[in-house]
Amino acid sequence: MGNTHPGATSPLGMVSACAYSGAYPTGYGVYAKNTEGVPEQMFDRLEASGFTHFQQSGTGAIRKYYNYVRVTPMVQPLDDLGQSWPLEDERAEAGYYAANLDTGVRCEITVGEKVAVHRYTFPDHHSARVVIDLSCGGLAIDLGRTVPLRAQAESMGHGQAQGTVVMEGIPLSVYIEVDSPGWRQMLWYDRRLIPGGTRLDFDSIRHTTLRPFGMLFMGPTRAGQTIEVRMGFSLRGREQARENLLRECGTGQPAFETVRARTRARWRDHLGRIQVDGGSPARRTVMATALYHSLIKPCIADDESPNWPDPGPYAFDICTMWDIYKTQMPLLSAIAPDRYGDLLDSLIRVCEEEGNFPIGYRMARGADRFFRQASALAHTGLADVHALRRPGIDWTWALVHMVDDLRRLYGEDFWEHGVVHPITHTLDLAYAHHCTAQVARALNDHRLAADLERRSGGWINAFDPATGLLKDSEFYEGGKWNYSFRLLHDMAGRIGLAGGGRAFVSMLDRFFGYGAEPVRQPGRGPDAAEMAAGYALNRFEGLNNEPDMEAPWAYHYAGRPDRTAEVVNSALTWQFGSGPGGLPGNDDSGGLSAWYVWASLGLFPVAGQNLFLVNTPAFARSAIQVEGGEFVIETSGHRESPIGVDGIDRDPPPQYVQSATLNGKALRATHLNAADVHQGGRLHLRLGPEPSTWGHGIRPPSLSDPHPSS
C-alpha cells in the first residue's frame, strides 16, 4: 500500500503532521508491524488519539522513530488521554490535513518548513481542552515505543509554553503559542494536573519510569469556537524554536491561513517544475501524486544540525539511500538543484563529523548506516554533480572523504581482496570506486584515478561465469536474479560475461517472464501475465524493491530498447493506480514514486554515470524546469493509453521510438549526456506501433567500450 500517510507536509521541509493511531508503519492507519504478506489489523476503523509531528514516508520496517509532540483536542477528562476516537470526514491537500473526531471536534493542521499550526473547532462545552503530550514517540506496537531520555517542559504564561525532549539522542525543542483567551494553562504529569507548577525537569527517563507528561490549555467554548495552536520546532534549542515560529507565523496572532497559503504556494512551485500534456485523468492523478511523494523527503533544515555547531544545511530522513539514490536523488538534482546541493553538502558534513557517508540517516544520533542494504552510495550523487560542474562543494575535501569511505565496513575487505560478501556489496563498492575515479581524474590526480579505476574492475568477481548471474550469496530483499541486471559502469563487459548481446537479452527475457507459462490474471492481457510469470519464478519482483528499479533499462545496453518499452509500459499500466493499493510496494521515501515520474517522462537516470536513457514516454508532451531553462520531451504519433484503474481488460499495446532528434539534430543513440538535459533543450520522439531499429546500433557507453556499437 505504499506506506505513505495523508498528513500535512512542506516540500523537503523539516516538519510533517498527521493523525496518530499508533499503528504501523507511519503512525497513521490500522495495521500491526509487518514486512511481507497480508498485515494484521490492529483496529477495524481509522482512529486517532491526537495529532503528532515528524513521520516517515513510505518506509518499511522502520517503526520506532518520530510521531513526537502529540496534540489532542478533548472534551473529556485528562484521564482519557491516549484513548482513540474514530476519524470522520477526512480531507487532505498538499500542506493541509483535516478530520473530525467523533467527539464533535473539527481538526485542521498545516505546516511550514519548521512550524506546525493546528486549528480546532470545538462544540459548546464548559471545559474543552488542548493537551500536549511531550512524552509521545514511536508506535503502539511491540518494541515500537520511543522513550525520551531527558525532558524539560515549561509554562510561560499567557498562552505560551516551551519544552525539549531528547529522543534517540537528539534534543527536539518546541515553542508553543495557543490562542485561548480566558483559558487556564497548566503542566501535567501521569495524567494529573500540577496546579501552580511552571516547570518540569526529567534528568533520566527509562522504559520502566516513563509516565506521560506535558502541558494543557483548558476553558469553556461556544459552539463553533476555534482555538489555534502554533508550534515552532528546532534541534538547536528552545530559543531557536521560538525564532522559527516568529519567522514563519509572526507572534500573538492567527497564522493558520497564512502558513497554509505559503506552503500551498511552495507546493505549487515545486509540482509545477514538471508539466505534462495529455493522459487520462487517472494517469495524470498518479503522475501528480508520484511527483508529490518524490518531494516530501529528505528533510532539509537550514542551520538545525544538533551534531555540529556551524550554520548550513542539515539533511535527515534519508531513509534509505538504497531506495532513493537511483531515482529520487537524480530527480531532485534536476528540478531542485539548490536543495539537492544542500543535501550533498550535508552528507559530506556527516562524513566529516561522524565518520562515514550514511546509507540511511534519520533524526537520530549517529550515522545510521543500514549497512546490510548497500555500501558507498553517496559517491554516485557526488560524481554526477561534479560532472555538471556545479559550484558550492569543496571537491578536494570531498574527494578525501570519498576515498576514506571506500575503506570502511565491507570496503576494507574489498580493498584487500576485490570481492566481499554479501556479494551485492562487491557491485556497490566497485561502482563507487569508478565514481570516485571520475572525480579524482577531473581534479588531475591521475595516479589515484588509475588505482581506483583498476579496483572498480572487481565487479567481475561477483559473477559466476558459468551462469552469467551473480554468485550464490545472501541477498537483501531480493535474489541473485534481481541483482544480476544492475546498470554497472562496464555494461559491455557485463554483457560479454553473459555470452554476448543475444544471450544477455535471453536472460533478461527469462527474468521478465517472456515466453514463460503465463500466470493468467483476470482482466489482464498477455504482457502482464508473462510479467507475473517472472514474478512467480522469484525473479522480477515488480518494482517493489530497489534491485528491480533499473533492470528494465538493461535492455538498452544490448541494443533492445523495444523490450524496455514493453516492460515499462506494462509496469505503468498495471502496477500503479489512483486508489488504495496504488503503489506496487513501499514508496521508500519517494524512491518508487520518482521511478514512476522518470518512466512516465521517457527518461531514466543512470546514477553516477552522468547519463539518461531514452524510452517511450507515457505523455504526448512533457516539460521539466531545469537549471538551464526547460527540457521538453515532445512526441509525434503518440497514442493515448489508459491504465488499469480505467477499467481496461487487456494491456494497451506499447509504442516504440522510431526516430529521435535532440535540438533539431538526429539522435541515433538511446542515451543523452546529463548535461544535455540539465542545460535545457528539446527532445523529439517519433513513435509507432511496431519495434524499429532505432538504438540497435549505438549503445550507451561503458568503461571498457566508451563508444559501443553493434
pLDDT per position as a tens digit, 522-557: 433 335 666 566 555 555 666 767 788 999 999 999
Cα–Cα distances in Å, from 380 out to 321, 325, 386, 552, 627?
11, 8, 10, 20, 20
Q: Following CA atoms 394, 397, 398, 399 in sequence, which dihedral angle do they give, to the nearest 10 degrees?
A: 130
- What pLDDT is attached to residue 74? 97
Q: How far apart are CA 131 and CA 403, in angstroms?
A: 51
When pLDDT is averaged across residues 420-432 and rounded to a whole number, the result is 96
Q: Is 366 helix (H, G, I), strand (E, B) or coil?
A: coil
Q: How far apart are CA 422 and CA 109, in angstroms?
A: 45
Q: How far apart are CA 205 and CA 134, in angstroms?
A: 13
- What pLDDT is attached to residue 59? 86
When pLDDT is averaged across residues 404-418 and rounded to a whole number, the result is 93
When pLDDT is averaged across residues 586-590 and rounded to a whole number, the result is 91
Residue 214: closest CA among 130, 293, 289, 141:
130
The strand pair at 681-688 and 629-636 is best described as: parallel
- What pLDDT is attached to residue 200? 96
Q: How far apart are CA 553 and CA 200, in angstroms?
A: 58
- What pLDDT is attached to residue 520? 42
pLDDT category at 35 given cuts 50, 70, 90 is low
What the block records as the C-alpha cell of 686 is: 517519433
- CATH architecture of residue range(s) 8-269: Distorted Sandwich (2.70)
Residue 56 near residue 26 (C-beta atoms within 8 A): yes
pLDDT category at 52 given cuts 50, 70, 90 is very high
pLDDT category at 60 given cuts 50, 70, 90 is confident
Mean pLDDT score of the chain, rounded to an integer?
92
475-533 pLDDT per residue, tens: 988 888 989 999 999 999 999 999 999 999 999 999 888 876 555 444 333 356 665 66
Q: How far apart are CA 105 and CA 430, in angstroms?
A: 57
pLDDT of 199 above 90: yes
- What pLDDT is attached to residue 704? 73
Where helices occur in 469-578 by DSSP H, the ranges are: 480-483, 491-497, 501-512, 526-536, 561-574
Q: What are phi and psi of 482, to 5 degrees?
A: -60, -45
- What pLDDT is attached to residue 522? 40
- What pLDDT is attached to residue 433? 98
Domain regions of the chain by residue span: 8-269, 272-688
Higher confidence at residue 527 or residue 174?
Answer: 174
pLDDT of 157 above 80: yes
- CATH architecture of residue range(s) 272-688: 2-Layer Sandwich (3.30)
593-641 pLDDT per residue, tens: 999 999 999 999 999 999 999 999 999 999 999 999 999 999 999 999 8
pTM greater than 0.85: yes
Query: Measured at the alpha carbon of residue 148, what is the angle toward residues 145 and 153, in degrees to the nearest 5?
Result: 130
Q: What are phi and psi of 340, to 5 degrees?
A: -65, -40
When pLDDT is averaged across residues 358-381 and rounded to a whole number, the result is 85
When pLDDT is averaged across residues 168-197 and rounded to a whole number, the result is 94
Query: Measured at the alpha carbon of residue 436, what is the angle toward residues 702 and 59, in degrees to the nearest 5?
Result: 90
